[in-house]
Amino acid sequence: MAKKVRASVPAKVILFGEHFVVYGKRALATAINQRLAVEVSDREEDGYHVKIENIPTFGLELDLEGGARRAYPYKDYGSATKAVAYVKESIAYLEERYGLNRGGVEIEIKSEIPLSAGLGSSAATCVATIAALKEYFGLSGDLEAIRNDAHHVELTVQGAASPIDTAISTYGGYVLIERNEVKRLPLAGLDLIVGCIGSIPLNMGTKKASEIGLKTKRVVEEVKKRKENFNAIFDYIFDAADEITAQAIKAIEAKDFVNLGALMYINHGLLDAIGVVPGRLSELVKVSQALGALGAKVTGAGGLNEMGGVGSVIVLPNESGARIKTALDIAGALVMDVKTGEGGLKLETDF
Ligand code: MEV
């Protein structure tokens, strides 16, 4: 049994097809160069001790059974408890499925991925925790099994999830999801800007703010309600979204960034039509467009005004990328330059 294991996985952005993928339409996602690492090592006392450091948001240290020992500067404690839920469920699942014989285990999570931002922090937590624990306990490191285990845990915690996030965190690169099947695509990397609204408006109150941990679930439910109300219209929107993903793959292959950007704006318009573009994210896309971005759109679950409008956008910049970043920053976003196509799960032992 290895004494110390580190599993590192990438964050994801969905380039095209979020939400529509839940209904079997095509979606294209890619890994980005923001990573989350889980380190597992021996501990003298029995039980699991977990330390979570989310670099953009918070830190938290706790005994899984005993509760929090220390919370250090954070903006978003509700999201901290959400991260813990994924770690707890990963352990429970592995114990049940593989009959792990636990002693004292130290788990340390360090993440560069902002939370509740649509960048796949939950899936990254599941994949890296499961991969690190399986390696630590001498179980098989088969990637497809790790992906399946992590997807199972995400489903248990969230109630609903497509395989897209766990596939990207496991495999990296680009992944096309079609009728729930995962296909890896060999596409070249893109330089994008991510703008992330992570802060909760001060007037929201703590109860509402803590619900944001379950934002994806809520937003997916809202889309379902709206779809039931406008079913015939939504069928056209969903078919259009499916075709956008197919054309976008061709545009990336042909390095046709003008068409790729145009497809991003169209996809964004469809996301707005199904009700997942809150005012704060809409503003980020509009400001990018006004400054000449080739394309911009909401990525991931998007958001809802009544949930504080938190979420992320991706921007395909033109030569005025620096001005776009300044404008996004002024509009209140956490701004990151990202490269797509990042590598997937990396495991190290006794480093
Ligand atoms: C969330 O990252 C993406 C959604 O399409 C939900 C899912 O695919 O599970 C909104």
Kindly report, residue by residue over 98-127, the tens digit of the pLDDT.
988 777 899 999 888 877 678 888 899 999
Instruction: Let me know: does 58 contact 75? Beta carbons within 8 Å.
Output: yes
**Total tally of structural domains belonging to the chain:** 1
Q: For residue 178, count CB atoms less than 10 angstroms from its CB and return exposed for 0-12, middle for 13-18, buried for 19 or more.
A: middle
Q: For ligand 1, atom 2, which residue shows the shortest CA distance?
A: 300
What are the pLDDT digits (tens) for 56-67?
Answer: 554 455 566 655
pLDDT of residue 277: 97
pLDDT of residue 72 exceeding 60, the answer is no
Ligand 1 atom having least distance to the Cα of 177: 8
The helix/strand/coil state of 289 is helix
Long-range pairs of 63-66 with CB within 8 A, sequence gap ≥ 24: 64/88, 64/91
CA of 349 to the centre of ligand 1 (A): 32
pLDDT of residue 73: 41
- Give the residue with greater pLDDT, 239 vs 202: 239
Q: Is the CB of 302 under 6 A from ligand 1?
A: no
Ligand 1 atom having least distance to the Cα of 20: 5
Q: For ligand 1, atom 8, which residue shows the shortest CA distance?
A: 162
Q: Is the CB of 301 under 6 A from ligand 1?
A: yes
Ligand 1 atom having least distance to the Cα of 164: 8
Residues 77, 93: Cα–Cα separation, whole Å: 25
Mean pLDDT in the chain? 87
pLDDT of residue 7 exceeding 70, the answer is yes
pLDDT of residue 101: 72
pLDDT of residue 53: 77
pTM: 0.87
- Give the residue with greater pLDDT, 76 vs 152: 152
Confidence of residue 77 (pLDDT cuts 50, 70, 90): very low
pLDDT of residue 205: 53
pLDDT of residue 330: 94
Instruction: Let me know: does 278 contact 303? Beta carbons within 8 Å.
Output: yes
Confidence of residue 319 (pLDDT cuts 50, 70, 90): confident
CATH of residue 46's domain is 3.30.230.120
Residues annotated as part of the active site: 165
What are the pLDDT digits (tens) for 166-218?
Answer: 999 999 999 999 988 899 999 999 999 999 887 655 555 555 545 555 678 88
Q: Is the CB of 22 under 6 A from ligand 1?
A: yes
pLDDT of residue 80 exceeding 90, the answer is no
Instruction: Let me know: does 19 contact 220? Beta carbons within 8 Å.
Output: yes
What are the pLDDT digits (tens) for 276-291?
Answer: 999 999 999 999 999 9
pLDDT of residue 59: 47
Termini Cα distance of the chain: 14
pLDDT of residue 180: 81
H or E element, residue 24: none
Domain that holds residue 351: 1-351
Q: For residue 45, count CB atoms less than 10 angstroms from its CB and return exposed for 0-12, middle for 13-18, buried for 19 or more.
A: exposed
What is the average pLDDT across 2-23? 93
Q: Is the CB of 162 under 6 A from ligand 1?
A: yes
The token pair that represents 337 in the structure block:
């330059």
Side chain identity, residue 337: D
Residues 211, 287: Cα–Cα separation, whole Å: 29
